Amino acid sequence: MSDDKAIWPPIDPISAGLHGRCPRCGEGRLFSGFLTVGKRCANCGLDYSYADAGDGPAVFVILIIGFIVVGLALWMEVTLNPPLWLHLVLWIPLTLVLCLGALRLIKGVLLTLQYRNKAAEGRLDRGE
């Protein structure tokens, strides 16, 4: 993550992350698979070895989608009182689709924000 502001104009990290684009140039692909981060940008050559979102995207997806689905399921149960099989048929596929769709988006945003803010592992300053 070199300081290369003279060569590459600033890119909006949210937009680049949502589109799965390189956080430095905004053109190259960030992902080589569905959730697999590529080795490097094909456009500008940025090495993606710094990219480690950890469990952050999964936590955000669980909290956001869980809140939405559980809230809708509770509302439906209180107002319509459908049979249990209808809950299973409706909420399980909806949860899977929403989680898989949101996971890639949130992971892309977190990785581009990691690059933009130069986030790295904590290190001790030994005063050397």
pLDDT tens-digit map of 52-85? 888 999 999 999 999 999 999 999 999 999 999 9
Asked if residue 24 is part of any domain, the answer here is: yes
Return the pLDDT at 53: 86
Return the pLDDT at 3: 55
Residue 37 bridge partners (DSSP): 31
The predicted model gives 111-128 an average pLDDT of 82
How crowded is the C-beta side of 37, counted as CA atoms within 13 Å?
22
Residue type, 9: P
- Longest C-alpha distance within the chain, in Å? 68
Query: Taking phi first (over 0 means left), then psi (-120 to 50 degrees means alpha), and beta for anything else, what does residue 81 get?
Result: left
Asked if residue 126 is part of any domain, the answer here is: no
Contacts by residues 50-54 (CB-CB < 8 Å, ≥ 24 positions apart): 50/1, 50/114, 50/115, 50/120, 51/111, 51/114, 51/115, 52/114, 53/107, 53/110, 53/111, 53/114
Give yes or no for residue 125 having a pLDDT over 80.
Answer: no
Asked if residue 127 is part of any domain, the answer here is: no
pTM of structure: 0.85
Write out the residue range of the structural domain in which residue 92 sits.
Answer: 13-117
Asked if 21 and 28 touch (Cβ cutoff 8 Å), the reply is yes
Residue type, 109: V
Asked if residue 7 is part of any domain, the answer here is: no
- Total domains in the chain come to 1
Contacts by residues 79-88 (CB-CB < 8 Å, ≥ 24 positions apart): none
Asked if residue 122 is part of any domain, the answer here is: no
Asked if residue 96 is part of any domain, the answer here is: yes
